[in-house]
Amino acid sequence: DAGVIQSPRHEVTEMGQEVTLRCKPISGHDYLFWYRQTMMRGLELLIYFNNNVPIDDSGMPEDRFSAKMPNASFSTLKIQPSEPRDSAVYFCASSRHHNSPLHFGNGTRLTVT
Amino acid sequence: AQSVTQLGSHVSVSEGALVLLRCNYSSSVPPYLFWYVQYPNQGLQLLLKYTSAATLVKGINGFEAEFKKSETSFHLTKPSAHMSDAAEYFCAVSPNTNAGKSTFGDGTTLTVKP
A53-93 pLDDT, tens digit per residue, is 999 999 998 899 999 999 999 999 999 999 999 999 999 99
Q: Which chain B residues contact residue A42 at CB under 8 A?
A: 104, 106-107
Please state, for a pLDDT cut of 90, what percent of chain A lies above it: 88
Please state, for a pLDDT cut of 70, what percent of chain A lies above it: 99
Q: What is the number of residues in chain A?
A: 113
CB pairs under 8 A between A and B: 48
Evaluate whether B95 touches B106 at the Cβ level (below 8 Å).
no
Task: Answer yes or no: do B100 and A104 touch at CB < 8 A.
Answer: no
Please state, for a pLDDT cut of 70, what percent of chain B lies above it: 97
Q: What is the distance between the alpha carbons of residues A92 and B2, in angstroms, rounded to a whole number?
A: 22
Give the tens place of pLDDT for each residue, B42-73: 999 999 999 877 889 999 999 999 999 999 99
User: Best interface-test mutation with A: which of B94, B106, B108 has the largest number of A CBs within 10 A?
Assistant: B94
What pLDDT does residue B102 have? 85
What pLDDT does residue A1 have? 65
Task: Return the C-alpha torsion angle A40, A43, A49, A50, nearest 10.
Answer: -160
Which residue in chain B has the smallest CA separation from A44?
B104
Q: What mean pLDDT is reported for chain A?
A: 95
Q: What is the distance between the alpha carbons of residues A33 and A97, in angstroms, rounded to a whole number?
A: 12
Has residue B98 got a pLDDT over 70?
A: no
